[in-house]
Every structure is written in C-alpha cells, then in structure tokens.
A and B are shown apart, each in its own frame.
Chain A
Amino acid sequence: MSIVLVGVNHKATPLAVRELLALSDDACATGLRSLVDGDIVREGLIVSTCNRVEVLTETATDRLHEATERMVEFLTRANALPRSQFEKELYHHTDDQAVRHLFRVASSLDSMVVGEPQVLGQVRRAYSIALEAGATGRILNRLVHHAFRVAKRVRTETGIGANAVSISYMAVELGKKIFDSFEGRTALLIGAGEMAELAARHLVSAGVSNVLLANRSKGPARALASELGGTPVAFSRLADHLAQADIVICSTAAEGYVVTEQMVRDALATRRNRPVFFIDISVPRNIDPAVGKIPNVFVFDIDDLESVVTSNIREREREAERAELIVESEIMQFQQALRALESGPAIGALKQMFQDIARHELKRQRNRLGPLTPEQESSIESLLMSTVNKLSHPMLSQMRHSSDASDAEIIEAWRDIFGLED
C-alpha cells in the first residue's frame, strides 16, 4: 500500500498553466470515477483550487510507477493539455512525503499567504466530492481526517492565522488593540476609495455600531451608506462629526490635508480625550502628520500599514516554523495509525483461521461421538473454542503489541509464517 500525490501549485507553476489544469467539481467527480479502478489506483482525491491542482491516491506498492503514470496521464487527459506544458513543474510525493504535503496544505503552510483560512474549506470540499463519488476508502478517509485534525491543531496551537496580513483588515486589528471591542464605536469614512470601503466593511462585520460617511459627491456616499447601514453626513461639517468618531478612515483624492491638527484638537476637547484611531489610505496624505503627535490619537498612513503587514507576515512565518514541528509529529502518529489499520485485519484473519480449523476438526470427528444432547453439543464447541482462543491469545496480543510499536518487520514475519494475504 502506498500513498501518492501528484500536482502543481502556485510556487512553481504560473497561473496561466494552473487555470488550464483546474477542474470543476463535476469534473473532479467524474475524473475520480475513471481514475479509481480498484486495482492500480484503489482510492483517490482531487484538490483543485486557484492555487493548486493535486491528485492524491492510494495504490498498490508494487505498481507505484504505473499509478503515478496514470495520475499524470489523467491530468493531461482531463483538460486536454499537452504534457510538456506542466510536466517540468509537476511534483510527485509518495508515502510520508505525500502525507506531509497534504498536512501542510490543509494547515495552510503551503498557501500563498501562509495561514489563510480558506484552504481548509477547499480541502474539505474536495473530500466531500471524493466521498460522494465513492472514491475514498479506508486509507484516504483516515488520512484526510487526520489532515483536518492537524489543521485544527496548527490553528489553535500556533499564531499562524493571528495577525492581519492585508491592509484593509489592519484597521480591525489595530482597532482591537486600541478599543478592545467595536461595540458602541463609531467609524467615520471620509471619501470612498475601494480600500477604505473594504476596511469599513471589515469594521462593520467586526461590530462597529455606527458608520458615518462624508463624501464630496453625494451619490456614492448614499449608495455605500445604505449598504453598510450608515449615515451620510455633509463634507462641509466634517469638523463637527470628527468628535463623534472613534475610528476615522480617510481616502480622498484631495491634494491637501482634509483633517488638520486644529480640527483634531478641537474634536478631542469635545470628546473628553477619548482615543481616536485614524487610518489614512490616501496618497498624498489627507491627514496632517502632526495629528499623530497629539496624545490619545493614533494615526496610521499607508506606509505604516504596509510595514505592519510586512512584520505580521514575518511573525506568521515564525509561527509557521512551530507549525512544521506539529506536522512532523502528526506524520509519525499517522504512520502508527496506518500500521494498526494494516495489521488489524491480519490479526483478525489469524483468529478466524484458528477458529475455522477447530470447527472443521469438530465436524470431522462429530460422527464418532454418537448422539449428544444440545447442551453437550454446545459445551464441546465452547471447550474447543476456548482452548483455541487461549492458545492463540498470547500470540495475537504479541502481534497487536508489535503493531502498536510499529514494528513493520515483525508484522511481515507474522504474515509470512501463517501465509496471510495483504
């Protein structure tokens, strides 16, 4: 039994090729049905997202090469793409390497943005498609569930997804550091750039209660206001509304400063020095940098946000190193589970074999015993069975022991001695 993974991802393969290789959900299902033949490829799973197309299978070890060949062939056939187009960047992993790869993908360690949470959902989806197509079995079911477990461990035990790595989400994260929660807070959106809108959306879904929108042209502000459940306010009365706002997102095309130091000082006096958080996404800047020197005021411009994003990415990478350790230890645990899975049937088969021998012998000798009462009959059978079971017990428990200790050689030896099939 071998686990094989063949695929391409964002690291080596350009998007132009990836999008040609990508498979729809339906194509995955039909593709799996044709790929899994129960002989060479016994189980299969296809993960196809914008960043990766990967085929994972469980195959007979002695036909590994054939199976790999079939999987590559399958990728070629599925999208009628010449093999030469993607073969160079194609990676194939077997056994532990394949397991490691799946664990890393599910834990978002192999993602473009390390720690992004979507990939786990994509793997889940791929699995449910394979499950529906009847393409998964004993081994892959176990493997994929284990991968989900690893992903969960990585998410809860490391800070891999902790720090924002997009500028629009930064507003929420920094805001949390200042205000703790957004309940009852007011955000003021000055201008309506795309990124400012996105930031405002994040803030609203993080719990900001009240959104004020100030825009020179009334049309876009109204549209956005109704969408976010906010209130459009007059641009000319910006100074008055500033006092209400805990969070100010500024993104206009204005050349000069829209928010001046004096405006903020006045606003702060009105709001009794409660802290204000300014985000200035506009270039050139719309908020006077001097505003940042006022106590209880925090100003972040686009450069500041970008440098925080960079440092957060570095922090995620540090956390990713810890995640890799978790992945390694989980690979070992999976190996162990796999061995138990493999030797389980062997132990069962052996027990069955002993009992069959006993029953067979009883049948052979039964005529010589003459007529017996049902009680006598059953006591003879239980006598035989318990003798067989007691005799074989130490042996079977030794087998279980060596399978727990993942001693593959001894398990193989047991198989050989009793002539058991795989």
Chain B
Amino acid sequence: MRSLLLAVLAAYVVAAIHAVLAFINKRRALQRVSEVALAAGFLLHTAALAADWIIAGHYPLFYLRETLSFLAWTLVASYSLLLYRYRARPLGTFILPLVSLLVFIATVTRSATESATNAVSVRDAWLFPVHTTLLFFAYAAFFVVFIASIMYLLQERELKLKTFGAIFHRLPSLTTVNEIATSSTAIGLTLLTVGIATGMLWASSRDGRLWHNDPKEIFAALTWLLYVSLIAYRSSASWRGRRAAWIGVAGFALVLCTFFGARMMGGYHVFG
C-alpha cells in the first residue's frame, strides 16, 4: 500500500513542480506535463484509497494517515473540476504543493494502533462514509474559496494601488476568481450542511444523541454560520469583492480549527 502511495506522491510532486514552473514562466508545455502527471496521480490515488478500503475493511477515514491522504484526494478532484470549468490553471500552483505535502505526511505517518474501531458496527453504518466524504469535499471547497479569495485580494490591491508586480500578470481576472469563490462557497456550504445532517443522523442511530457538544461539532456549527452569512451577504450584494474575499480567508481559519481542533481538544470525534 505504501509503495502505491509513494507512486502517487511522485506523480503529485511532478505535477506541483510543473504547475509552479508554468506559473512562473508562463509556459503551456509545462502546464500540460503538470496535468498529465496529475491525472496519473489521481488515478493511482483512487486505486490506493479503494485498496485501502478493501484491505482494511473500513472506510479509509479513521487515522491521520488516511484522512490526510483522503483530503489530498478531494483537493485534486476539486482542482480538476476547476480546471475543467474555469481553466483556472494558476490555482494549481497553490493547491498542488499542498496536495503533495499532505500525501507526503500520509506516507511517513503510521498509526500505532491500526485496528478497526467499533465505529462501523452499528445500524446505518453506511451513513458514516457519506458523512465524512461530504465533509472532506466541503473542506476542499472551502480551501478553494480561501485560495480564490487570496488571489482576489492580491489582485484587487494591485489594481487599486496601480503597481503591478510579477504576480499580477499571472493571475486570473477578478471576475473569474470572484466567481470561483462564490460557486465554491455555495458548493462547500451545501456539502457541509448535508455532511452535518448525516453525521447527526448517524450519531442518533448510534447512541440516540444528535449533539455531543464536542469541539469539532461546535467549530463546524460556527463554520456553517459564517459561510451562510457570507452567501447571504454576497447575494444581497452589499458584500462583494474585497469584503467577501476577507470572509473567505477568515472562514478558512475556522475550517482549520474544525479539522485539527478536535484532534487537539479531544472529544467525541477522535478516532485514530
């Protein structure tokens, strides 16, 4: 399994390096190499996750190693969608190095107690993979919002100050990054909502309680509120552009707290 993941890592590193070089040198050929490597990596990665699932016998989202690898996978899937929909190549420059890093950590991390928990052995067990998968895609979507927002802020700042640095000529237009941020927020929020709902259903069928007041749940609720208000303000048009972009950046801090916070503060959501 580990060798397969190493192959995935190699493909992603090649993709990331070429994406960064393509961004710096504005070369199409490099971008093509990056996309081919990414496609190969993604296929291998999908195979690796599937193999993990079959061999371990549980949905591969319990241990840190598995979650990081899965998160990388969702990021690559989201980036592929963005490439397809917006041709937003510069995003890869920022997403792919992170993906490589996540997979790298996944390859060097070994969970000491890799035994299946009792998590799966309950009624409505199918809800658990749905719950986690949806939330991971929500994290990926919010990361995209974060990157697009940063791109918006950088570019908007240069346009306002009228001093154009090297990065200016390489970023997509304000309209494009704004659109990416808006649609990713909507997608992320939908996933988050359904993800939280399935989690609640699963918890209630497991031990009859919807809410456990654990840190992850509280952070998730806060995140949800923040993105709901972002969407509301965006559609009412009073927050557009800069302000919305700042919320997109701040929101991601909350997402990070949700993702890592629980691990540090303990609670119901700790497994691995």
Contacts and interface: CB of A to CB of B under 8 A. Distances in A.
Name, among A179, A275, A315, the residue most crowded by chain B CB atoms within 10 Å (CB to CB): A275
B159 interface: yes
Contact of B242 (A178, A295, A308): A295
B183 to A, nearest CB: 14
Nearest to B170: A159
B240 interface: yes
A157 interface: yes
B243 interface: yes
Contact of A159 (B26, B174, B237): B26
Interface in B193-245: 237-238, 240-243
A178 B240 CA distance: 14
A308 B241 contact: no
Interface string A277-307: 0000000000000001001101010001001
Interface stretch (B7-15, B107-115, B161-169): B161-169
Contacts of B173: 176-180
Interface string B7-29: 00000000000000000001110
B123 interface: no
A178 B164 contact: no
Nearest to A177: B173
A325 to B, nearest CB: 12
Chain B interface residue number, banded: 20 to 34
Contacts of B172: 180
Interface string A139-160: 0000000000000000011010
Contact of A311 (B164, B175, B237, B243): B164
A68 B26 CA distance: 42
A273 B233 CA distance: 12
A162 B166 CA distance: 13
A304 B162 contact: yes
B17 to A, nearest CB: 19
B168 A177 contact: yes
A180 B172 CA distance: 8
Contact of A275 (B28, B162, B169, B241): B241
Interface in B133-174: 155, 159-160, 162, 164, 168-169, 172-174
A180 B176 contact: yes
A273 B241 contact: yes
Contacts of B162: 300, 304, 307-308
Interface string B29-58: 000000000000000000000000000000
A177 B241 contact: no
A292 B174 CA distance: 17
A296 B241 contact: yes
A179 B241 contact: no
B26 A275 contact: no
Given A177-B155, A272-B237, A292 B160 contact: yes
Interface string A219-246: 0000000000000000000000000000
A298 B241 contact: no
A273 B238 contact: yes
Contacts of B164: 308, 311
B27 A157 contact: yes
A174 interface: yes
Nearest to A295: B242
Nearest to A277: B159
A274 interface: yes
Nearest to B235: A272
A177 B242 contact: no
A254 B1 CA distance: 74
A298 B169 contact: no
A163 interface: yes
B159 A298 contact: yes
Contact of B175 (A159, A163, A178, A298): A178
A174 B158 CA distance: 11
A300 B163 CA distance: 11
A298 B168 contact: no
B152 to A, nearest CB: 11
Contacts of A177: 155, 159, 168, 173-174
Interface of B: 26-28, 155, 159-160, 162, 164, 168-169, 172-176, 237-238, 240-243
17 contacts: A156-B28, A157-B27, A162-B26, A177-B155, A177-B173, A178-B173, A179-B175, A272-B237, A272-B240, A273-B240, A274-B240, A275-B175, A295-B241, A295-B243, A296-B242, A298-B160, A311-B164
User: 3 tightest A-B contacts by CB?
Assistant: A272-B237, A180-B173, A273-B240
Given A177-B159, A275-B240, 9 more contacts: A162-B26, A163-B169, A176-B173, A178-B175, A179-B175, A180-B175, A273-B240, A300-B162, A304-B162
